[in-house]
Amino acid sequence: LLLLKSFYCMSYEDVVIAMSPLGIAIGSDEPSCGSIQSPCLSFSTIHQWENDTSVIIEGNITLDFVIEIHLVSNLVFTSSPTSKEEGPAIITCACPHPEHNCGFIIEECQDVSFDNLAITGCSMLYQLNGYLYRSGMLITASTDIALEGVSISNSYGTGLVLKNAAGSIDILNSVFSNNSLPFALQIDSNGDTVHGGSGLVILVSACEVTASTCLGTSTAGDYNIQEVSFNNNLNNLTNLSTGDWLFTYGGGLSILLVWNVQGNFFNIENSNFTGNKASAGGGMIHHCQTLCNDNTLIVKDSLFLSNSLTSTSFGGAGLATGIAYFLGDRMSTNNNVTVISTMFYHNNGYYGGGALVYCNSLDPKKPITEYNHVSFINCVWEGNTGAISPAVEVEPNYRSQYSHFFSTKATFENCTFISNSIVRHYKETFNRPSYTFNAGIGVFIIAKVTVYFSGNNTFTCNSGTALFIIAGTAFFDRGATTEFTNNTGTNGGAVALVGYAKMKYNNDTSFIFKNNIADFIGGAIYVLNNHVYGPLSSFNCFLEYINDQINYSSVTNARFTFENNRAFTDVGNSLFFTSIKPCQLTCLPQFGSISKPNDLFVNQTCMGTFDFVSNMSERSEIASSGSFFEVDGPTPLSIIPGRKYLLPLKLLDEMGQDVTKITTFQPFFSNESNINISAGFQFVANNTIEMTGRPGERGNLTLMASTHHGSEVSASIDIKLASCPPGYVIEYNSTSCICSASQNNKSLNYNGIIGCKDNEGLAVGLAGYWIGYILSYEMEPPNQDNLYTTDCPLGFCRYFNNTDGSIKNKEYYLLTKEASKTDVEEIVCAENRRGTVCSQCKKGYSVYFHSETSKCGPDDLCNAGFIFYILSEIIPVTCLFFAIVYFDISLTTGLAYNFLFMIQLLQAMVVSVNGGVQFEPSFIRSIYTILYNMLNLDFFDIDELSFCLWKGAGTLDMISMKYVSVMYAIVLIMGFVFMFKHCMCGLKYKCCRKNTVSYSVVQGLTAFLVISYFQCSRVTFLLLNRESPRGIGTTTYKDIVFWDGSLEYFSSQHLWYAIPALMCLLLFVIPFPIMLSFDGLLLKIESRLSLRFMFIRRKRPYTALHYKLKPLLDSFQGAFKDEYRFFSGLYFFYRVLILALLVIATSIVQYYFLLEIALIVIIMIQAIVQPFQKKLHNIAALLIFVNMALINMCTIRIYHLVSTDGYPTETVVIQWLQMVLIYIPLGMGVAWLCYFFYKRCRDKRDQSVSKNDENYFVCDEEFPEEIFNRSESNVDDKW
């Protein structure tokens, strides 16, 4: 005591005092140091270790070599009393390079003790059972070992190796942390693999690890590990191919029982395993290699936290325990592992994330007396993750995979599994990391073995199927209650059973399934038995009641409760079986006959009582795999090549429920068929299939159902390949329908089809185009060769505005998914329209008069049609005529000629196909339309004011009705002339009070004749308007009538309209401008002819006509210079030319182009000739024609933009520019009219006052008689 007191009072730094019964003197680091009088400063001067040696260490000393102690008893390493107060003494290893060897080797010693020390940074290379190994400390073949308050850390290799220790081994209140073997030390100088890296390795073996046989028996040890922490140790051997996997097991603690290990007891209490890593047993492993008997492991009140694995080939990130294999007829027996009140939190491994139990096979011909047992009591698994089994896996060892009997029984009692989940797992592929998602199996996996459950076990909020049984058995003892709540999985949210998997149970057991969810089928339980169509037996039923009572009974009181479980496919929300038939046989003793599938889980107690509770009514709680097919619909099925198709099939389960959506089919055709299955559809899911081939090909499709139990259920369906949808064409290499607009080959394109929405299978047609089928005969199938496109007349086709932004804001049609003439018409044609170019009204509808868009309205309102016609057409024409005559409006002045010319032709210069270009606000367009159309004899051309004339009227009929208005106008003119000729105001020799002169009458008649001429010409050319629909590539259809696409051009039906138009053209439209243009020439020709022909000289017919119409001719020609009087006729020829372009052009864009050329030619003529007498009129003419050319140029640009780029901002800007150009002449015309009426009214007022003052009266004689009654005697030869 005095000696200890004296050491306590001394304060030396880095002093080592070795004490023995002989006594050690304190001194310096000399050969004589080591006594009390001469203390040593390091271990290097201690050359001999003796029994009863106590090493007292104070402060921090350095160790730079290997201390080897052999055959010593009662050896103690401890801190001095002074160090104990300040903290444990520290031994820091500073191993010299390159050997890097320093540490402790204690061999064949007794009573070895380490107390209150910190050993750090040590590493030694040595042979361990034939393998190179590194550790900081090695205690081998020693007895009675104690470590208390010891910290072994940062070792290059394993922290401590205990090999074949015997007696009592106590490790208390110690820490093993951050021990690992760097990659640089895993290979020695000879290229051999070096092992090591765990915190603590306990190796027990009667022989060398590499031995092939072993006859001896290991010594037994009693290991007591309490309040020990294993933190952040890493056992990561990189090159496993040249090493022994056994030494890669266990990151924190590795208990390796190798050869003939018996009678060892391991007690681990209140210990923590945190952040450790290894290939197997990241936190801890208890491994029996060969012939382990009567060994016991108890783990109690411990924690496994955040441990993980370094390899995807092994499991048990938290804890791994099991037996490797047996040799010959000798096997490991009566080994017991008990884990009590232990927590497994947030461990991560490829499988067995929380715990792994691997079992050895059992030869049934050589029974054993004692099984091995693994029990988990009151344990909790929470937040563990893994790719296959994040919480627990109980499986055969790798050499027992094909066995059916095993020597280990695993039991779980009162355990909790909460929030464990299957997640992504990191693994190395081709020397580079990548993340791969492994479709997980289950949180708790039982593979082939039997696992027993007793007490109350709960599975809550686990992700990846809570309990997964593969060809194994989960046995629930009497009184066991198992609850599955809020778990999720792919197939089976709570439980999945595969193969000959079973759930066995005794009486008084209870199973609760609540709020579990399956991503596919089996919300609570999923059963997959691949052998149900082998020998049919109740043994194949996944549920089996085991009677544990003396008196056998086939009735059990086990209860299964299912509450609000759900499968996302709504198939088997509670239970899903591959087949229900085996379970039907289970209840045969109770029913005396095979029960019906629908009654099996309702009206029986042979398997227990089943309660189903759900918040949703009419759900499928129980379902099975498909049993037979139903084909829903007529055959053959019409399928588009290259297009996904939903087969009209139903696969029904054994209870008659539709389970098609969960079934995969394998399709195939016979070798004789030319129809092929598209790549990627060799298996059909959700009834979706895709085929390739030529339209019209036929074949027989056989579908083999890949049910969940592998049985063969097949169906056969006739298939016929249909034509491609409109806008799609057959691609001859792939024999699939592809979008025509996406092809660089122009021979496969359609004009007006600008793209496709392939995700919807719809082609996109540009607004302004009609797209449809023109069939040669009624039964001809629609196909890509009889699909045509052309410009659509105003109002015939629908107008869609794209709002989803998918086609660059274009205005478009979405065509149909199938090649159908009527379906395409429903999409393309305007309301109540049908037929080619949507030119016909549907039955019960007629084209309305005065409709700008030629709308088709109901024909039950046609009775008062002609009354409305008189009110809206005849009366306005009459009023207009008298207004022109009364107000003496002249339309043959230089200004009026050009203004009238523009407004009459304006409709031909703006885009008007199908409303393809809409101007907003629309009232601006309506204003100029109404004002301009008044001088075209088009009154009230507004859809809202349109009406039905007669039933069945068509567009050509309504156009032809304009002839009536023109004829009426001509009759009105003739009547007015007749009245002045014969009535002379009603008083031939008396005067009229009306101050009207002959000139105003002639001017009025001239103006109305100009208006009537244009309307007659316009109607004529509208009736003769044609177009040529274009098909695929450059193909064109025969000419059709533009306003009635159902009529071929100049067909017998068209002639009813064409003949009157041609007559009008030949008798009026062409002769009238010829007479105006060639009046003088005709007089000269007649004069020459009169010299040779007596009857011409006597009659002079044209000369007579000329003088009769001379005032009218003068009125037309008066504005022009004398030498250019023929321009009066040329202006009418301009009209005829521009309107004739409607017939000459085969498309709208061609018409606009030709019109622009014509306007440029006219501008050049006007600029060169300048035919008007007044310079102002010539300037006005040029401005008007330039304005028209600009308006038409805007139209061409707008049409191009809408046809190619959609409806960009540029289109709106050009529309506004065009509108300004249109309104400029209108504004100037209104201003001129106001000035004209003001001046005329002022002149008439002044004239009236003057004449009254002079008592002047205008008499009828003041109307020159020759205006109306020229005789041949009055002919003047001056002309």
Per-residue pLDDT tens for 118-138? 999 999 998 887 788 999 999
Domain end (from 673, 701, 721):
721
The predicted pLDDT at position 1102 comes to: 63
- Together in a domain, 678 and 765: no
Query: Among 410-424, 633-647, 831-845, 1089-1103, which is the least confidently predicted range?
Result: 1089-1103
Which span out of 544-553, 1159-1168, 1261-1270 was modeled with the highest average pLDDT? Answer: 1159-1168
Strand partners, 703: 667, 715
SS (H, E, C) 399-464: CCCCCCCECEEEEEECCEEECCEECCEEEEECCEEEEECCCCCCCEEEECCEEEEECEEEEECCEC
The answer to whether residue 995 scores a pLDDT higher than 80 is no
Q: What is the pLDDT of residue 298?
A: 97
Report CA-CA distances (Å) from 140 to 134, 145, 163.
14, 10, 5
Confidence of residue 808 (pLDDT cuts 50, 70, 90): very low
Rg for the chain, CA atoms, rounded: 54
Domain-embedded: residue 563: yes
What are 688's two structure tokens?
């979706």
Lowest mean pLDDT among 2-11, 1028-1037, 1100-1109, 1210-1219: 2-11
β-strand partners of 756: 763
Q: Domain for residue 11, yes or no?
A: no
Sign of the four-CA dihedral 156, 158, 164, 167: positive
Among the listed residues 962, 932, 776, the one whose alpha carbon sits nearest the alpha carbon of residue 851: 962
- Report the C-alpha gap between 228 and 272 in whole angstroms: 6
Same domain, 603 and 659: no
**Domain finish residue from 624, 657, 686:** 624
- Residues 106, 69 contacting (CB under 8 angstroms): yes
Q: Which two tokens stand for residue 995?
A: 């101050």
Looking at the fold, whether 1095 and 1242 belong to one and the same domain comes out as yes
b/e sequence 246-280, b meaning 16+ C-beta within 10 Å: bbbbbbbbbbbbbbbbbebbbebbebbbbbbbbbb
For 674, phi and psi rounded to 5 degrees? Answer: -95, 10
pLDDT value at 83 more than 80: no
The answer to whether residues 600 and 635 belong to one domain is no
Instruction: Place 1261 in a pLDDT band, splitting at 50, 70 and 90.
Output: very low
Whether residue 79 lies inside any domain: the answer is no
Phi first, then psi, for residue 811 (nearest 5°) are -95, 125
Q: How much of the chain exceeds pLDDT 90, in percent?
A: 28
DSSP letter for 36, please.
Answer: B
For the beta carbon of residue 88, count every other beta carbon within 10 angstroms: 18
Q: Residue 424: is its pLDDT beyond 80?
A: no
What's the pLDDT score for residue 1233?
73
Is the same domain home to 930 and 1025?
Answer: yes
Measured in degrees and rounded to the nearest 5, phi and psi for residue 308 equal -150, 175
Q: With a cut of 90, say whether residue 758 has pLDDT above it.
A: no
Residue 592 Rama label (left phi>0; alpha psi -120 to 50; beta): left
Overall size of the chain counted in residues: 1279
Of the residues 624, 654, 673, the one at which a domain ends: 624
pLDDT, average across residues 697-711: 74
Select the more confidently predicted residue: 258 or 1256. 258
Cis check: omega of the bond before 367, within 30 degrees of 0:
no
Mean of pLDDT values over 898-923:
67
633/614 same-domain check: no
367 and 236 within one domain: yes
Beta-bridge partners for 163: 140, 203
Distance of CA 542 to the CA centre of its chain: 39
The beta strands (E) that lie in 1106-1216 are given as none
Mean pLDDT of 628-639: 83
Angle at which helices 1110-1117 and 1101-1108 cross, to 10°? 70
410-420 average pLDDT score: 96
Q: Which structure tokens are listed for 138?
A: 């090695």
Distance CA 396, CA 811 (A): 68
Tell me which of 22 and 360 has the higher pLDDT: 360
What are the beta bridge partners of residue 15?
Answer: 58
Lowest-pLDDT range of 141-150, 239-248, 656-665:
239-248
Task: Report d(CA 524, CA 493) in Å as an integer.
Answer: 5
Whole-angstrom Cα distance, residue 1076 to residue 1066? 15
The 10 Å Cβ neighbour count of residue 1227 is: 10
pLDDT digits (tens, 9 = 90+) for 31-53: 555 554 455 666 766 767 888 88
DSSP letter at 725? P
CA gap 76, 112 in Å, rounded: 6
Residue 540, H or E segment: none
Phi, psi of 1260 (to 5 degrees): -65, -25
- pLDDT band of 228, cuts 50, 70, 90: very high
For residues 1272 and 303, the model is more confident at 303
Assess if residue 88 is contained within a domain.
no
Could you tell me the CA-to-CA distances from 1026 to 4, 116, 818, 1040 in Å, in that order? 126, 110, 30, 6
User: 103 pairs with which residues across the strands?
Assistant: 66
The confidence band for 592, taking pLDDT boundaries of 50, 70 and 90, is low
Which of 208-217, 337-346, 660-669, 1012-1021 is predicted most confidently?
337-346
Q: Tell me, what's the pLDDT at 120?
A: 95
Do 620 and 647 belong to one domain? no
pLDDT score of 475 more than 60: yes
Say whether pLDDT at 1223 is over 90.
no
Domain membership of residue 1064 (yes or no) is yes
Q: At what angle do helices 955-982 and 1052-1064 cross, to 10 degrees?
A: 30
- End-to-end CA separation in angstroms for the chain: 164
pLDDT recorded at residue 594: 62
- Torsion sign over Cα 431, 433, 434, 435: positive
Are the C-beta atoms of residues 795 and 848 closer than 8 Å to each other? no
50 lies in some domain: no
Tokens at 1137, concatenated: 């030319």
DSSP 3-state assignment of 387? coil
Distance of alpha carbon 628 from its chain centroid, rounded?
Answer: 33
CB atoms within 10 A of CB 549: 9
The 10 Å Cβ neighbour count of residue 53 is 20
Q: Examine residue 774 and state whether it is found in any structural domain, yes or no.
A: yes
> What average pLDDT does the segment 916-935 reach?
68
Dist CA 447 CA 452 (whole Å): 13
Structural contact between residues 1015 and 966, judged by C-beta atoms closer than 8 angstroms: yes
- From the number of C-beta atoms within 10 Å of its C-beta (0-12, 13-18, 19+), residue 1048 rates as middle
Q: What is the pLDDT of residue 1018?
A: 86
Split at pLDDT 50, 70, 90, the class of 435 is: very low
Confidence of residue 618 (pLDDT cuts 50, 70, 90): low
DSSP-assigned states of every residue in 106-172: EES-EEEEEESEEEES-BEEEEETTEEEEEEEEEES-EEEEEES-EEES-BSEEEEEES-EEEEEEE
Q: Residue 64's Cα: distance from chain center in Å?
A: 66
Mean pLDDT of the chain: 80
CA distance 882 to 1102: 30
Would you say 529 and 538 are in contact if contact means Cβ atoms under 8 Å apart? no
Of the candidates 1065, 1051, 1177, 1078, which has an alpha carbon nearest to the alpha carbon of residue 1120? 1177
In a domain, 1257, yes or no: no
Amino acid found at 356:
L
Q: What is the pLDDT of residue 428?
A: 39
Coil, helix or strand for 1085? Answer: helix
What is the predicted pLDDT for the residue at 164? 92
Q: What is the mean pLDDT of residues 988-1011?
A: 57
**Crossing angle of the two packed helices 1127-1144 and 894-905, in degrees rounded to 10:** 10
Domain of 678, in residue numbers: 628-721
Residues 921 and 1038 reside in one and the same domain: yes
Is residue 1254 pLDDT above 60, yes or no? no
For residue 36, the model assigns a pLDDT of 46
Please check whether residues 619 and 650 belong to one and the same domain. Answer: no
Specify the pLDDT at position 992: 43
Q: Is the link from the previous residue into 634 a cis peptide, with omega within 30 of 0?
A: no
- Spatial separation of the C-alpha atoms in residues 292 and 1094, rounded to whole Å: 148
The per-residue pLDDT for 1272 is 35
Say yes or no: 983 and 1127 in one domain.
yes
Highest mean pLDDT among 483-492, 676-685, 785-794, 1096-1105: 483-492
Contact 790, 769 (CB under 8 A): yes
Q: Can you state the percent helix, strand and coil of the chain, rounding each to 5? A: 30, 30, 40
Euclidean distance between CA atoms 1194 and 909, whole angstroms: 9
The pLDDT of residue 765 is: 86
According to DSSP, the β-strands at 73-79 and 117-120 are: unpaired
Kindly report, residue by residue over 1195-1213, the tens digit of the pLDDT: 888 877 776 666 667 777 8
Note whether 1179 and 1040 are same-domain residues. yes
pLDDT value at position 981? 59
Q: Domain tally for the chain?
A: 5
Residue pLDDT, tens place only, 501-531: 899 999 999 999 999 999 988 999 999 875 5
Taking CA atoms, 1229 is separated from 891, 1232, 1254, in Å, by 12, 5, 37
pLDDT over threshold 90, residue 394: yes
Q: What pLDDT, on a 0 to 100 scale, did the predictor assign at position 859?
A: 87
Specify whether the CB–CB gap between 939 and 945 falls below 8 A: no
Region of poorest pLDDT, from 277-281, 602-606, 684-688: 602-606
On whether the CB atoms of residues 74 and 51 are closer than 8 A, the answer is yes
**Could you give the CA distance from residue 56 to residue 1135 in angstroms, rounded to a whole number?**
126
